[in-house]
A and B are shown apart, each in its own frame.
Chain A
Amino acid sequence: MNAIPAELLRIIIGLVAVAVSVGLIGLVMVWVERKVAGHIQRRPGPFEVGPSGVLQPLCDALKLVGKQLFMPNGADPILFWLAPVLSFLPVLLLFLPLPVGDGIQTLDVNLGLLLILAFSGLAVLSVLLAGWASNNKYGLLGAARGVAQAVAYEIPLLLSVLAVAFVSGSLDLAQVVKLQGTWPWNWNIMTQPLAFLIYIVSALGETNRAPFDLPEAESELTAGFHTEYSGMGFGLFFLAEYANMVVVCSVATALFLGGWHGPVLPGPVWFVLKVSALMLLMVFARWTYPRVRFDQLLVINWKWLLPLAVANLLLTAFFVKLAQFA
Chain B
Amino acid sequence: MTTSQNNDHLAGDFYTQNFAKTAKDGNLILNLGPQHPSTHGVLRVVVELDGEYVMRAEPILGYLHRMHEKMAEVKTAAQFIPNMGRVDYGHALGWNWAFVGAVEKLADIEVPERAEYVRVITCELNRIASHLLWWGAYLLDLGAFTPIMYAFDDREKVLDILQIPTGSRLTYSYFRIGGVAQDLNADCIRLIRAFIPWFRSRLPMYKDLVSDNIILRKRIEGIGVIEPDACRRFGATGPVARGSGINYDVRRATPYSMYPKLDFVVPTSELKDARGRYDVRMIEMEQSLRIIEQALDLMPEGEVLVKGAPKPSWKVPKGEAYFAVEGARGKIGAYVVSDGGKNIYRTKLRAPGFCNLSLFAEVSKGTILADAVAILGSLDLIIPEIDR
Contacts and interface: CB of A to CB of B under 8 A. Distances in A.
A292 B369 contact: no
A220 B38 contact: yes
A290 B142 contact: yes
B35 to A, nearest CB: 9
A289 B153 contact: no
B6 A73 contact: yes
Nearest to A43: B149
Interface string A22-46: 0000000000000001001111000
Contacts of B66: none
Interface stretch (B97-105, B186-194, B214-222, B313-321): B214-222
Interface in A137-151: 137-138, 140-141, 144-145
Interface string B1-44: 11001110110000000000000000010100000111000000
A287 B144 CA distance: 7
Interface in A196-225: 210-211, 213, 217-222
B38 A74 contact: no
A90 B367 CA distance: 37
Interface in A270-305: 286-296
Contacts of B373: 219-220
Nearest to B29: A137
A76 B370 CA distance: 28
B157 to A, nearest CB: 13
A296 B218 contact: yes
Name which of A76, A135, A221 has the most chain B CB atoms within 10 A of its CB.
Answer: A221
Given A222-B36, A293-B218, A293-B219, A217 B370 contact: yes
B30 A137 contact: yes
Nearest to B142: A290
Given A73-B9, A211-B215, A294-B370, A37 B145 contact: yes
Given A41-B149, A210-B143, A220 B369 contact: yes
A307 to B, nearest CB: 20
Contacts of B107: none
Contact of A295 (B36, B145, B146, B368): B368
B198 interface: no
Main secondary structure on B side of the interface with A: mixed
Nearest to A135: B1
B215 A290 contact: yes
A290 B144 contact: yes
Contacts of B6: 73-74
A74 B10 contact: yes
A210 B36 CA distance: 20
A196 to B, nearest CB: 21
Interface in B66-107: none
Given A37-B145, A290-B213, A294-B368, A42 B150 contact: yes
Contacts of A135: 1, 10
Contacts of A295: 368
A220 B370 contact: yes
A87 B292 CA distance: 56
B284 interface: no
A41 B146 contact: yes
A121 B20 CA distance: 38
A218 B9 CA distance: 24
B88 to A, nearest CB: 22
B52 interface: yes
A292 B38 contact: no
Interface in B346-380: 368-371, 373
Contact of A41 (B36, B52, B145): B145
Contacts of A218: 37
A37 B9 CA distance: 39
Nearest to B223: A293
Interface in B141-170: 141-146, 149-150, 153
Nearest to A290: B144
B140 interface: yes
B142 A219 contact: yes
B150 A291 contact: no
Interface in A168-221: 210-211, 213, 217-221
B139 interface: yes
Contact of B143 (A73, A74, A138, A213): A213
Contact of A211 (B5, B7, B38, B143): B143
A135 B369 CA distance: 20
Contacts of B10: 74, 135
B1 A74 contact: yes
Contacts of A137: 28, 30
B150 A74 contact: no
9 contacts: A41-B146, A135-B1, A141-B30, A210-B145, A289-B213, A290-B216, A293-B218, A293-B219, A293-B370
The 3 A-B pairs at the shortest CB distance, nearest first, are namely A291-B143, A41-B149, A290-B144
